[in-house]
Amino acid sequence: MTLFLIVALPFLGALLPGVMNGAGRAATAAVTFIVTLAAFIGLLSNLPAIWAGEVVTARLSWMPLLGLDANFMLDGLGFFFALLILGIGLLIIAYARHYLSRDDNAGQFFTYLLLFQGAMVGIVLSDNILLLLIFWEMTSLSSFLLIGFWKHLPEGRQGARMALTVTGGGGLALIGGMLILGNIAGSYDLSVILSEREAIQASPLYLPALLLILLGCFTKSAQFPFHFWLPHAMAAPTPVSAYLHSATMVKAGIFLMARLWPVLAGTPEWFVIVTTAGLVTMVLGALIALFKNDLKALLAFSTVSHLGLITMLLGTGTAFGAMAAVFHILNHATFKAALFMSAGIVDHEAHTRDIRRLGGLRRLMPVTFVIATLAALSMAGIPFLNGFLSKEMMLEETTHTVLFGLDWLAPALATFGALLSAAYSFRFIGHTFLGPVRDDYPARPHDPGPGLWVPPAILVTLFIVIGCAPFLAEPFVKLVTAALLGDAAEVPYAYLAIWHGLVPALFLSITALVGGMILFLAYAPLSRLWETAPRPEAKSIFDRVIAASVRGASALTHGLHNGAFTRYAAIAILAILVFGAHAWVTGTVGAVTRSVQSAGPIPVIGTLILAAATAGLVILHRNRFLALILIGIVGLMVSIGFVYLSAPDLAMTQFTVEVVTIILLLLALNFLPNRSPVESGVLRRVRDGVLAVAGGVATFTLAYHYMLRDAVATPISEFHLANSYKGGGGTNVVNVILVDFRGFDTYGEIIVLGIAALLIYALTEALLDGPVRRRLLNRIPDQRRSGDMHPMMMVVLTRVIMPVVLLVGFYIFLRGHNEPGGGFIAGLIVSIGVVMQYMASGFAWTSARLRYPYHGIIGAGVLIAGFTGIGAWFVGKPFLSTAFTYVRIPPFAEFEIATAMGFDLGVLLCVVGAVMLSLESFSRLARRADTQDSDHPMDIDPSRGEDAGQQGGTA
Amino acid sequence: MELLVALIVGVLTAGGIYLVLRFRTFPVILGMSLLTYAVNVFLFSSGRLTIGAPPILSDDVTLYTDPLPQALVLTAIVISFGMTAVAVMIALGAYLGSDDDRIDDTPQDREGTS
């Protein structure tokens, strides 16, 4: 089966349990099982190739410019982990089906589980490290959902948050480290990175990359000092603990260390950091585990300890250490998953996991007792069980490891760890199952149905087989080790066996077992000692750190973002000025290359009018109506300036936009107060004035310098001017640029315009639905209403000129390609024509005659423009290519038909729709407020009777 | 001529900045409009100033002004209408909702958010 399908199956399958949630636990579990089984079989179908030493790949170019490709690679190491993930996954699903209760949302659970499974498979099969990072983050997220699955339990929520914070933070560090690594290697493909050992280890960035990657691995695999999240994650349902926190997710960090072992390992930095962290974690985890009373907490800390052991083995940097690590990963995954499932069974049947309330379960739950005991003995390292084999290899490896120049340190610590490990394993058996039967269990314990004990029993069989006949596992372990080592080292010659002769490791192993037994027998006094000893509580430290970060963050946010807009604006303006001044001072100013053009008296007068209007606006802005008139003058002068400076299209656009903007502001002023009160002190106004003048001087200087110099490169407009007629079929170059050369930009802009109008519509709707509606209905207008709301002259005039306006709009539209005009301007003209009808004849009269809603017009405009662009595809041209031809229909003169016209029509419709929808929304507010609509469009209508006229007039 | 256009840009910017720093929504919207004019004129001037040479092709004319900034500014003018309309709508909604057209949060509002 292709690797794509193996990775994709869990994700696709994740939909099923959620969708069929109503079908019950059994059905959702069955479908989850089938999906996983399919992926598992797919994985196994690749076994022959892997066995032959091949690397199976599947490549799909995704975003090659970013170096992000969907490349997958399956070698021995990836196969090994994928086998663990999917194989143990199958057992866990079967177990969970019986473990979850009727109240649990099984569909949700299995969906999360499959998402997690897919992400894990993705990690171990990724060839591209960016892809790997994506899957990495997905495991953090999906495990968050799984740990917090019992949302009603505060421990579950807190544990999930802590796990996400720690592993997510590590994930961020990992991203940094991986990007550095990819940069050094020149590729984000693992297969390339793995062959760049020398370059990477010689790079000055090796150490930062190593530290960041290890941070990611250590947080994920709960290595000291990040070990504290794992026990808190045990608030999850037991299947999750067994799956994520023994076999899979916590192994992701181990996997990555193993995957990158050929390029990262072997340096002194790697050796010291990884070996030390591993040893410390191993001893510390085992020590805490020994004194834990919660079965799952005991197992959690023992997992921490065993992960430390594996990390330490990888840290030694020798091929033998790597092989021992691989073997122990396999062994640990099998016995620890079985142990978690046994603990889950005990919890499920006895309703408690507290060791102090258990004991004597041997007679009540014989099946569970056998399974749990065998698993725990394997963990303790008893011969003929697999834990013994890898533990002895570990001890053997430490006897060759010289840490900090001391050759006894590593073996001593490792033996001490193994001793503690044996002690807590004995305690797990002794205090749970042995001893007298009690009569105060919360529930009457008994063996569960086979659904719960068969999955762990399968694992137990597996590790007994490995334990008794290690040579069966040897080829596989060596295959995986070969893949792990890559080209960096040779697979060691050593073989897996129970009896290696009287080697030092054997004596260390015996010491550990005997010492463990002594510790177990002396547990009661030791426990009292432990209880009285002071020790830091990781959770409270973590909580304090989080609380402090939250305080710091909110102090910073509220300090900077205190809700004062004027402050933000002032800071932004000041910052722009400072940066601009810096650029101005440090940069160089080129020589003047253009001469100043002389200006006649008229431009000077125009500029003075504009400046006076602006100054007047600033001084008189408190009188809002006056301010509107003044800003109208400013806009008008700008339009005239455009005419004068050879920009007729701009002038027409500015002029028409000015009209609709003023109408819009008038509609708004209908509600807003007419005056702005004086609120700023003199000092404040001086400060603002200084900022304003500085800004003005800056833009003046910039514009002036700019205009006196030619462009540093030939403007691309040369091309536009040369090709406008030849290629675009139009002589109005501005319009041809809009609808042809830069048609895609224009297309985006009309869409933005449409979105803005829809936003306004939506805001109006929200306002009219909310409390504002009542306020509007009760509002008393602060100004006297006009006595003649619909003056007859205006009504008659606007109706008469409506066809003329439309004709003008049509004319401007048609000629746009060759003369000033086009869709934008025509759209604005048509809008003004329609707005006039609203103003003169009233909202109701106009709305009643409206055949199409304005949203529809916006949509039609965007669609017409889009389809016109797509039309080019049918003749094999890129999107928005235009074609044109000249036709002559007698008796008219020859005229041009261009596809660009269709696009321009879309622009026109979009502009009309957007402008009208905005204005209409504002008027709807007004209508809601105070206007009683006249029944008649004209208040005074000679054709109606005298009474009717009177009535209308008072309305 | 260049001096005049640069002056226009400067005056519009100064007026715009001053009004944007006011405390009520309406002057801020007017200030944004002034800044819009300033930016549009500045963008337009980046094509350098040419008098009496509109970019309408004709057989007997060889000098045209730069059409590209014009095309950019044309759409900018239309979009700025949309932007102004949205800003006005937000201002209006805020005023109708709280009977207050101050642009800054009052200290009470800030208490509420923190």
CA–CA gap between residue A772 and residue A934 (Å, rounded): 24
Q: Which amino acid is at A342?
A: S
Task: Say whether residue A631 is in contact with chain B using an 8 A CB cutoff.
Answer: yes
Task: Say whether residue B98 is in contact with chain A using an 8 A CB cutoff.
Answer: no
Sorted by sequence, the CB contacts under 8 Å of residue A260 that are 6+ apart come out as A181, A193, A194, A213
SS3 of A795, please? helix
Task: State both tokens at A34.
Answer: 């089938």
In chain B, residues with a C-beta closer than 8 Å to the C-beta of A721 are 55, 57, 64, 67
Task: Among B30, B46, B56, select the one facing A731 at the smallest CB separation.
Answer: B56
Given a cut of 50, whether residue A441 has pLDDT beyond it is: yes
Task: Say whether residue A928 is in contact with chain B using an 8 A CB cutoff.
Answer: no
| Whether residue A891 has a cis bond before it, omega within 30° of 0 | yes
Chain A nearest-CA residue for B74: A650
Task: Say whether residue A658 is in contact with chain B using an 8 A CB cutoff.
Answer: no
Closest C-alpha among A549, A537, A792, A812 to residue A656: A812
Q: Please answer whether residues A17 and A114 qualify as being in contact, where contact means their C-beta atoms are separated by less than 8 angstroms.
A: yes
User: Which secondary structure element, helix H or strand E, spans residue B98, and what is its range?
Assistant: helix B67-98
Chain B nearest-CA residue for A610: B8
Q: Please answer whether residues A935 and A680 qualify as being in contact, where contact means their C-beta atoms are separated by less than 8 angstroms.
A: no
Measured in degrees and rounded to the nearest 5, phi and psi for residue A623 equal: -85, 105
Q: How many residues does chain A have?
A: 955
Sorted by sequence, the CB contacts under 8 Å of residue A871 that are 6+ apart come out as A899, A902
Which is more confident, A504 or A283? A283
Closest C-alpha among A403, A332, A389, A378 to residue A505: A389
DSSP summary character for residue A877: P
SS3 of A58, please? strand
Task: Say whether residue A929 is in contact with chain B using an 8 A CB cutoff.
Answer: no
- What is the pLDDT at residue B114? 42
Handedness of CA A429, A434, A437, A438 (dihedral sign): negative
Query: How many other C-beta atoms are found inside a 10 Å radius of the C-beta of residue A867?
Result: 12
Candidates A630, A650, A910, partner chain B, best to mutate (most B CBs within 10 A): A650
Q: Where are the beta strands (DSSP E) in A314-428?
A: none
Please classify residue A55 by burial: count the beta carbons closer than 10 Å to its beta carbon, then call 0-12 exposed, 13-18 middle and 19+ buried. middle
Task: Among A618, A757, A925, select the one facing B19 at the smallest CB separation.
Answer: A618
Give per-residue pLDDT as tens, A604-629: 999 999 999 999 999 998 888 999 99
In chain B, residues with a C-beta closer than 8 Å to the C-beta of A693 are 14
C-alpha distances in angstroms, A465 versus A378, A386, A501? Answer: 12, 8, 21
DSSP string, A13-66: HTHHHHHTGGG-HHHHHHHHHHHHHHHHHHHHTTHHHHHTT--EEE---SBGGG
Does the distance separating the beta carbons of A689 and B2 come in below 8 Å? Answer: no
CA–CA gap between residue A290 and residue A293 (Å, rounded): 9
CA–CA gap between residue A289 and residue A431 (Å, rounded): 14
Task: State both tokens at A325.
Answer: 């690590």
Q: What percent of chain B has pLDDT over 90?
A: 51
Does the distance separating the beta carbons of A763 and B90 come in below 8 Å? Answer: yes
Query: How many other C-beta atoms are found inside a 10 Å radius of the C-beta of residue A154?
Result: 10
Closest C-alpha among A108, A307, A614 to residue B8: A614
Nearest CA of chain A to the CA of B112: how many Å?
11
| Neighbour-count burial for A110-122, b at 16+ CB within 10 Å, e otherwise | bbbbbbbbbbbbb
In chain A, residues with a C-beta closer than 8 Å to the C-beta of B74 are 649-650, 653, 734, 738, 824
Measured in degrees and rounded to the nearest 5, phi and psi for residue A189 equal: -90, 130
Nearest CA of chain B to the CA of A738: how many Å?
6
Does the distance separating the beta carbons of B82 and A742 come in below 8 Å? Answer: no
Task: Among A597, A668, A915, select the one facing B88 at the smallest CB separation.
Answer: A668
DSSP string, A675-732: BPPP-S-HHHHHHHHHHHHHHHHHHHHHHHHHHTS--SS--THHHHHHHHHHHH--SB
Candidates B68, B100, B102, partner chain A, best to mutate (most A CBs within 10 A): B68
Does the distance separating the beta carbons of B29 and A732 come in below 8 Å? Answer: no
Give per-residue pLDDT as tens, A576-607: 999 999 999 998 888 888 888 888 899 999 99
Give per-residue pLDDT as tens, A227-253: 888 888 888 888 888 888 777 888 888
Mean pLDDT of all residues in A640-665: 92
Chain A nearest-CA residue for B3: A704
Chain B nearest-CA residue for A671: B92
Question: If you average pLDDT over every residue of chain A, what do you get?
Answer: 85
Task: Among A638, A818, A918, select the one facing B41 at the smallest CB separation.
Answer: A638
Q: Please answer whether residues A708 and A596 qualify as being in contact, where contact means their C-beta atoms are separated by less than 8 angstroms.
A: yes
Given a cut of 90, whether residue A935 has pLDDT beyond it is: no
Q: Count of A–B CB contacts within 8 Å?
A: 320
Q: Please answer whether residues B8 and B87 qualify as being in contact, where contact means their C-beta atoms are separated by less than 8 angstroms.
A: no
Place of tokens 């087989």: A465
DSSP summary character for residue A68: B
Nearest CA of chain A to the CA of B108: how many Å?
11
Closest C-alpha among A243, A236, A127, A240 to residue A188: A127
- Give the number of C-alpha atoms closer than 13 A to the C-alpha of residue A895, restricted to the C-beta side: 12
- What is the pLDDT at residue A947? 47
CA–CA gap between residue A391 and residue A442 (Å, rounded): 37
Q: Return the CA Rg of chain B.
A: 20
Give per-residue pLDDT as tens, A96-106: 888 888 888 88
Segment A878-881 long-range contacts (CB within 8 Å, at least 24 positions apart): A879/A744, A880/A740, A880/A743, A880/A744, A880/A747
Task: Say whether residue A644 is in contact with chain B using an 8 A CB cutoff.
Answer: yes
CA–CA gap between residue A384 and residue A374 (Å, rounded): 10
Candidates A676, A697, A773, partner chain B, best to mutate (most B CBs within 10 A): A676
CA–CA gap between residue A930 and residue A918 (Å, rounded): 20
Nearest CA of chain A to the CA of B24: how many Å?
7
Residues in A 751-770 with any Cβ partner in B closer than 8 A: 752-753, 756-757, 759-760, 763-764, 766-767, 770
User: In order of start, what are the domains of chain B with their CATH numbers?
Assistant: 2-52+63-113 (1.10.287.3510)
Nearest CA of chain A to the CA of B3: how many Å?
6
DSSP string, A309-361: HHHHHHHT--HHHHHHHHHHHHHHHHHHHHHHHHHHHHHHHHS--BGGG---H
Give per-residue pLDDT as tens, A33-92: 999 999 999 898 988 888 887 888 888 888 777 777 888 888 888 899 999 899 889 988
The DSSP bridge partners found for residue A732 are B56
- What is the pLDDT at residue A802? 92
DSSP summary character for residue A358: -
Candidates B51, B64, B73, B77, partner chain A, best to mutate (most A CBs within 10 A): B77
C-alpha distances in angstroms, A366 versus A362, A372, A408, A580, B32? Answer: 5, 10, 43, 81, 81
Chain B nearest-CA residue for A923: B89
Q: Which amino acid is at A113?
A: L
In chain A, residues with a C-beta closer than 8 Å to the C-beta of B60 are none
Nearest CA of chain A to the CA of B92: how many Å?
7
C-alpha distances in angstroms, A411 versus A392, A431, A502? Answer: 11, 30, 17
Given a cut of 80, whether residue A926 has pLDDT beyond it is: no
Given a cut of 90, whether residue A559 has pLDDT beyond it is: no
Task: State both tokens at A303.
Answer: 């997992």
Task: Say whether residue B61 is in contact with chain A using an 8 A CB cutoff.
Answer: no
Please classify residue A397 by burial: count the beta carbons closer than 10 Å to its beta carbon, then call 0-12 exposed, 13-18 middle and 19+ buried. buried
Measured in degrees and rounded to the nearest 5, phi and psi for residue B24 equal: -110, 155
In chain B, residues with a C-beta closer than 8 Å to the C-beta of A818 are 56
In chain B, residues with a C-beta closer than 8 Å to the C-beta of A660 are 81
Q: Please answer whether residues A67 and A61 qualify as being in contact, where contact means their C-beta atoms are separated by less than 8 angstroms.
A: no
Task: Say whether residue B52 is in contact with chain A using an 8 A CB cutoff.
Answer: yes
Q: Please answer whether residues A820 and A648 qualify as being in contact, where contact means their C-beta atoms are separated by less than 8 angstroms.
A: yes
The DSSP bridge partners found for residue A887 are A895
Closest C-alpha among A867, A868, A841, A858 to residue A952: A841
Does the distance separating the beta carbons of B20 and A717 come in below 8 Å? Answer: no
Residue ranges covered by each domain of chain A:
1-262, 265-521, 731-955
**Lowest-confidence pick of A59-63, A259-263, A905-909:** A59-63
CA–CA gap between residue A281 and residue A224 (Å, rounded): 5
Nearest CA of chain B to the CA of A381: how many Å?
56
Task: Say whether residue B109 is in contact with chain A using an 8 A CB cutoff.
Answer: yes
**Lowest-confidence pick of A196-200, A205-209, A735-739, A892-896:** A892-896
User: Which secondary structure element, helix H or strand E, spans residue A895, and what is its range?
Assistant: strand A895-898
Helix/strand/coil (H/E/C) assignment for every residue in A211-222: HHHHHHHHHHCC
Task: Say whether residue A676 is in contact with chain B using an 8 A CB cutoff.
Answer: yes
Q: pLDDT tens per residue, chain B (114 residues)?
A: 889 999 999 999 999 999 999 988 899 999 999 999 999 999 999 888 888 888 888 888 888 888 999 999 999 999 999 999 999 998 888 888 887 888 887 766 655 544
Q: Please answer whether residues A898 and A884 qualify as being in contact, where contact means their C-beta atoms are separated by less than 8 angstroms.
A: yes
Measured in degrees and rounded to the nearest 5, phi and psi for residue A138 equal: -65, -35
Does the distance separating the beta carbons of B7 and A611 come in below 8 Å? Answer: yes
Chain A nearest-CA residue for B28: A566
Candidates A617, A646, A667, A691, partner chain B, best to mutate (most B CBs within 10 A): A646
DSSP summary character for residue A894: P
Sorted by sequence, the CB contacts under 8 Å of residue A681 that are 6+ apart come out as none
Does the distance separating the beta carbons of A573 and B68 come in below 8 Å? Answer: no
Task: Say whether residue B95 is in contact with chain A using an 8 A CB cutoff.
Answer: yes
Task: Say whether residue A699 is in contact with chain B using an 8 A CB cutoff.
Answer: yes
Does the distance separating the beta carbons of B75 and A733 come in below 8 Å? Answer: no
Nearest CA of chain A to the CA of B20: how many Å?
7
Give per-residue pLDDT as tens, A365-386: 888 888 888 888 888 888 888 8
- What is the pLDDT at residue A948? 44
Candidates B75, B98, B110, partner chain A, best to mutate (most A CBs within 10 A): B75
Q: Please answer whether residues A137 and A58 qualify as being in contact, where contact means their C-beta atoms are separated by less than 8 angstroms.
A: no
